[in-house]
Amino acid sequence: MSDATPQIIPIGGGGFYRDPENLALERYILAQTGVAEPRVIFVPTASGEPDHYVASFYAAFLKLHCRPSVLSFFKRTPDLRSLLLKQDVIYVGGGNTKSMIALWRDWGVPELLREAWQSGIILTGVSAGAICWFEQGLTDSFSDGLRPLGCLGFIPGSCCPHYDGEPERRPSYHRFLASGEIPAGVAIEDWAGIHYKGTEIHQVIGAKSGARAYSMRSVYGSVQEVPLPVEYLTQASE
């Protein structure tokens, strides 16, 4: 990788699994590495590593100029440090964030991900793979509804994915912000991502018209939702 600046690109929803013909977000992520044929590893822990998700990843990324691979925790687990730290991109899939982080902590993965991030390896992902990088995220890991969840804390504040794609996301995030149960943060719609350099927003990217992200905070119990400028990506093929 050419840029040792720590970079994280959380995606609110969508991406290769939802529409394998629209790989604009994936192309953008790979381009940030500055590597002609970057190594990208998919980490589908949160969904239990289903075969169809892994197959969708390979089908999409084999169309791109990269070297894709998958990390499994439910088979023989490899030497995690040597595997993760030789990547250019670590892409975390969606699913149950709470279960994913619990398993990761048992394997010592958060420390390895922080080391990877600080060395310039790009961390990215969708849904669970978006909120996991923040101090807290709004998760559907529980059967009784959305809740705040403590996450890895690489980026300060909170994150809500699927902001326009799931009807309970916006009112729930507003409610938790207003009550002080979750700190100020960002809301990311499906097909949008936020590119962080260090812990500061570099730019918001959108892969479909109208996809947005918002800066969110509560002031005296009133939630302020501020749209962030968006750079819309083309879907040009290779």
For residues 57 and 70, give the distance between their C-alpha atoms in angstroms, rounded to a whole number: 9
Question: What is the rounded CA–CA span in Å between residue 135 and residue 152?
Answer: 6
- Which member of 47, 127, 141, 158 is catalytic? 127
Q: Tokens 């088979």 — which residue?
A: 75
Q: Is 195 a catalytic residue?
A: no
Helix or strand run (H / E) with residue 224:
strand 222-227
For 206, the 3-state DSSP assignment is: strand
Dist CA 60 CA 20 (whole Å): 6
Q: What is the DSSP code (8-state) at residue 233?
A: P
Is residue 174 flagged as an active site residue? Answer: no
The single residue of 56, 141, 158, 162 carrying the catalytic annotation is 162
User: Cα separation of 45 and 162, whole Å?
Assistant: 19
Instruction: Count Cα neighbours of 49 within 13 Å in the Cβ-side half-sphere.
Output: 13
- CA–CA distance, 30 with 40 (Å, rounded to integer): 8
- Do residues 169 and 193 touch, judged by C-beta distance below 8 A? no
> Active-site residue numbers?
127, 162
